[in-house]
Chain A
Amino acid sequence: MELGERMNQHALALVDVRKRFGQTEIINGVNLEIVAGERHALIGPNGAGKSTLFNLISGRFPVSSGSIALNGTDITSKEPQVINRLGLSRSFQINNIFPKLSVFENLRCSVLWVLGYRYSFFKRTSALRDAKESAERTLEMIGLENRREKMAGELTYAEQRALEIGITIASGANVILLDEPTAGMSRSETEVAVELISRVTEGKTLLMVEHDMGVVFDLADRISVLVYGEVIASGTPAEIRMSKKVQEAYLGTPIDGDEE
Chain B
Amino acid sequence: MERALNKSRLILWSSVALLFVLLPFVFPGGFALSILSQLGIAIIFALSYNMLLGQTGLLSFGHAVYFGLGAFVTAHAINFVEAGVFGLPMSFMPLVGGLAGLVFSLLLGFVTTRRPGTPFAMISLGIAEMVAASALMFTTFFGGEGGIVTNRTAGGVVWGISYGPQIQVYYLIAVWCFISMALMFVITRTPLGRIANAVRDNPERTQFVGYNPTRVRWIMMSLAGFFAGIGGALTTINYEIITAESLGLMASGNVVLMAFIGGIGQFWGPIIGAVLVTFLQSFLSNFTQAWLLYFGLLFLLIILFSPGGISSLITIHAPVWRAGVMKRLLPSYMFALWAGLVTLTGIIGVIELLYRGTLVVGVNVAVTWVFSGLLVLVGAFFLRRAIRAVTQVWEDLTPELARWS
Contact = CB atoms under 8 A, between A and B. Distances in A.
Interface of A: 58-59, 79-81, 84-85, 89-90, 92, 96-101, 105-106, 108-114, 117-126, 128, 167-168, 170-171
A90 B201 contact: no
B219 interface: yes
A171 B204 CA distance: 17
B198 A126 contact: no
Q: Which 4 A-B pairs have the closest CB atoms?
A: A113-B210, A80-B207, A117-B191, A121-B192
A101 B191 contact: no
A118 B191 contact: yes
Contact of A112 (B195, B204, B207, B215): B195
Interface SS of B by simple majority? helix
Interface of B: 2, 186-187, 189-195, 197-198, 200-202, 204-212, 215-216, 219, 223
Contacts of B191: 112, 117-121, 123, 125, 128
Contacts of B204: 96
B201 A121 contact: no
B189 A105 contact: no
Nearest to A124: B189
A167 B209 contact: yes
A121 B207 contact: no
B208 A90 contact: yes
A94 to B, nearest CB: 11
A79 B207 contact: yes
A118 to B, nearest CB: 7
Nearest to B57: A100
Contacts of A85: 210
Contacts of B210: 81, 84-85, 113-114, 171
Given A113-B209, A171-B210, A98 B192 contact: no
B202 to A, nearest CB: 5
Nearest to A127: B189
B198 A98 contact: yes
A80 B202 CA distance: 14
Contacts of A109: 194-195, 197-198, 206, 209
A100 B190 CA distance: 17
Contacts of B205: 92, 96-98, 167
Given A89-B208, A170-B209, A124 B194 contact: no
A110 B212 CA distance: 13
Contacts of A123: 190-191
Contact of B190 (A97, A99, A125, A167): A125
A95 to B, nearest CB: 10
Given A80-B207, A81-B210, A84-B208, A121 B202 contact: no
Given A112-B194, A121-B191, A124-B190, A81 B201 contact: no
Nearest to A111: B209
